[in-house]
A and B are shown apart, each in its own frame.
Chain A
Amino acid sequence: GAGVSQSPRYKVAKRGQDVALRCDPISGHVSLFWYQQALGQGPEFLTYFQNEAQLDKSGLPSDRFFAERPEGSVSTLKIQRTQQEDSAVYLCASSDHKGVLNTGELFFGEGSRLTVL
């Protein structure tokens, strides 16, 4: 499809396990964002990439969270030694940089729901 694709859609992990969540942005989109959404809350910003450069990681909650986008396209959010409080939906969004300046429109994927037992 032409939208933002995230995988897996659902992930169950035991506390202490490492997980990796993948995001395939819309082709050609320069900007990529990761958000964390806890149950009943609005999405919270985690990190932002412009091409392969991670320009803002101010929202990452701890050093257990790591994101990368090595070739400026697909991105992976990695969570090490998962804790129960990491249980949330992780949303990825992308935008055409020119489009962002003009409309502020981010295109979101459906998210990856992580449950840590």
Chain B
Amino acid sequence: DAKTTQPTSMDCAEGRAANLPCNHSTISGNEYVYWYRQIHSQGPQYIIHGLKNNETNEMASLIITEDRKSSTLILPHATLRDTAVYYCIVRPLYNQGGKLIFGQGTELSVKP
């Protein structure tokens, strides 16, 4: 699986948009970009995934560059409850069972 690079930590003001970048320059054509987050003392939670088109759901938006070498997760109106570690993961959609390989993630702190 391709590796990802994320900033170690980021701050965001409550109510503002949080933009979390991820580099995945070695991504291959059949690999998707997934985002999960882990709130303190909880298990990771799925947020969103995409291949090459921008995606949006009730939690976030995912912007993938045209060359697919990087992406940005956008939380449009961050709240204190969005404070968590955010993981960017790339994996083939049809791998065995859907195993995920986590990196270090970005620790997002939303401040009042």
Contact = CB atoms under 8 A, between A and B. Distances in A.
Contacts, number: 67
Interface stretch (A13-21, A61-69, A70-78, A95-103): A95-103
Contacts of B105: 42
Given A95-B98, A104-B98, A41 B104 contact: yes
Interface residues of B, number: 24
A68 B46 CA distance: 25
Given A42-B105, A43-B44, A110-B42, A104 B93 contact: yes
B45 A110 contact: no
Contacts of A45: 99-101
Given A45-B101, A104-B91, 7 more contacts: A43-B102, A56-B96, A104-B32, A104-B46, A104-B93, A106-B100, A108-B42
